[in-house]
Amino acid sequence: MNIEKLKNNISSTVLIHVIIWGLFMSMALIPFYENSTDINADFFVQWVTGIALFYLNYYYLVPNLLLHKKAGLYITIVVVILLILMTIRFLYFMPEVRNPMVTRLMNTAANNQLQRGPHQGKPPLFFKIIPTLFYIFIIAASTVIRTLTEYHNNEQNKLIMESNRTASELNYLRKQTNPHFLFNALNSIYSLAYKKSDLVPDAIVTLSEMMRYMLYETDNQTVFLEKEINYIKNYLELQKLRLNNIENIYINIHGETREKYIEPLLLISFVENAFKYGTDYKGAAYVKIKISIENDNLDFWIENKIQDYTKDPDNSGIGMNNIENRLDLLYPNSHQLTILETDGTYTAHLKLKLDQLKKTNT
C-alpha cells in the first residue's frame, strides 16, 4: 500500500468517526432544544471525557490488557478511571443544571418528595449514577467493537496466510512440472539423435513451441483449455517421433474447447506417466486419451498398458503426486479422480469443473 493510499484511508476513517460522534451528540442535544434549556458545562465534559474514554479503551486497554488475558488488571484500571472521572464531575460540574431529560425527571421526583415531606430538592440517588451508566456504556461499546474487530482481522489474516501458503505450494509444484517435462522431452530428442534420425529438427521445432507455451502462458493462474490441449497434442507428436510403433497412440476430443479455462500444465503429468510406463523396450507404446467437454465440465480419460519396468523409488511417482496435490489445492470441491490398475492396464479418469477459475495473472 503506497503512502498516498494510506493517507486517504486514514482520512476516511477519521471522517467516519467524526460523523458518527456528531450524530450521537446531535441526538443528545435534542432535549435541550425541546425544553429551551441552556447547554451546561457538564454536557460537554460528559461527551469529551466519554469520547476520550472510548478511544483509550479501544486502542490501548482492550488490545494490551483484555485480549492478552489480563482481565484482572483491565477491570482494576477501568474502575479507577471511572472513579476519577465521576469524582471530577461531582466536584466541579454536577452542581450545575444537568441534561434536561434528567432534570425533568429530577424535578418530578423532587415535587413528589415536596408533597411528602422535608426532603425537598434532593434528587434520588438514581439520577446521580446516570453519568456512571453513560461511561459504562461507552466502555462496553468500545470493548465489544474492538473485540469483534480483532476477531475479524484475525480471520482475514488467516485467510491471507492460507492464500499465500497455497500460492507458494502451487509455485513449487509448477516449478517441479517444468523440469520434469523438460527432462522427458530431452530424453526423447536424445533417442532420435542417438539413432541419427532425420526427425531431430522436427522434434526440436515441436519442443520449442511447447517451451514457448510454458514460458509465456503458464505464468497465468489459468489458461485457455484449447491451448492446453494443443500442448498435449505437441507432446504426443514429440513422443511419436522417437517411438517405433505408434499405432496405439491416439487422442479423441469432443465438445467445445473455446472460452474454457483450466489450470496450466494440469493434465500433462497424466500423459507423461502414461508414456513412462506404457512404452516397452522395443519402442512400442499403448496410450489412449479421451477428452470430453460439456458445458463447464471436463471429462479426461487416459489409459496405458503397463510394460515391464523397474521403478526408481527415489524418482518414481513425482508427476502423479504433483497432480494430486495441485488438484486438492485448486479444485478442492470440484474434481473427481479415479485411478484403476487391472490386468496390466492403468487407467486414470478425471472429472473437473472448469468454471471454478478464470484467466487472471498471478
Residues 53 and 195 in one domain: no
* pLDDT mean over 26-46: 70
Find where cell 519396468 sits: 309
* pLDDT mean over 140-156: 87
Instruction: Report the domain count for the chain.
Output: 2
Helix axis angle for 225-242 and 268-278, nearest 10°, is 20
Residues 145 and 184 in one domain: no
Per-residue pLDDT tens over the stretch 239-275: 888 787 888 898 999 998 888 888 888 888 888 888 8
Residue 171 covered by a domain: no
Report the range of poorest mean pLDDT among 56-60, 189-193, 306-310: 306-310
Bridge-based pairing state of the strands 284-294 and 245-254: parallel
The backbone region for 306, taken as left when phi is positive above 0, alpha when psi lies in -120 to 50, beta otherwise, is beta
Residues 127 and 187 in one domain: no
Residues 210 and 346 in one domain: yes
- Integer Cα distance of 63 and 266 in angstroms: 46
Residues 121 and 201 in one domain: no
Per-residue pLDDT tens over the stretch 192-245: 888 788 888 888 888 888 888 877 777 777 888 999 999 999 889 888 887 878
The backbone region for 205, taken as left when phi is positive above 0, alpha when psi lies in -120 to 50, beta otherwise, is alpha
Q: Comparing 352 with 259, which gets the higher pLDDT?
A: 352
Q: Residue 300 has what pLDDT? A: 96
Residue 361 covered by a domain: no
Q: What is the mean pLDDT of the chain?
A: 76
Look at residue 154 and tell me whether its pLDDT is greater than 70.
Answer: yes
Look at residue 1 and tell me whether its pLDDT is greater than 60.
Answer: no
Residue 18 covered by a domain: yes
Residue 234 covered by a domain: yes
Cα–Cα distances in Å, from 299 out to 67, 163, 257? 51, 28, 12
Structural contact between residues 249 and 240, judged by C-beta atoms closer than 8 angstroms: yes
Structural contact between residues 260 and 296, judged by C-beta atoms closer than 8 angstroms: yes
Per-residue pLDDT tens over the stretch 104-117: 544 554 455 444 44
Residues 119 and 200 in one domain: no
Q: Residue 95 has what pLDDT? A: 47
Helix axis angle for 318-330 and 130-194, nearest 10°, is 150
Residue 83 covered by a domain: yes
Residue 172 covered by a domain: no
Q: What is the 3-state secondary structure (H, E, C) of 89-113?
A: HHHHCCCCCCCHHHHHHHHHHHHHH
Residues 51 and 89 in one domain: yes
Q: Residue 301 has what pLDDT? A: 96
Q: Residue 318 has what pLDDT? A: 52
Residues 287 and 343 in one domain: yes
Angle (CA) 184-187-192 rounded to 5° is: 135
Look at residue 358 and tell me whether its pLDDT is greater than 60.
Answer: no
Nine cell digits for residue 68:
492478552
Q: Residue 25 has what pLDDT? A: 76
Q: Comparing 317 with 211, which gets the higher pLDDT?
A: 211
| CATH number of the structural domain spanning residue 203 | 3.30.565.10
Look at residue 345 and tell me whether its pLDDT is greater than 50.
Answer: yes
- Domain range for 68: 3-158
Q: Comparing 114 with 85, which gets the higher pLDDT?
A: 85
Residues 149 and 7 in one domain: yes
Percentage of the chain modeled with pLDDT above 70 = 71
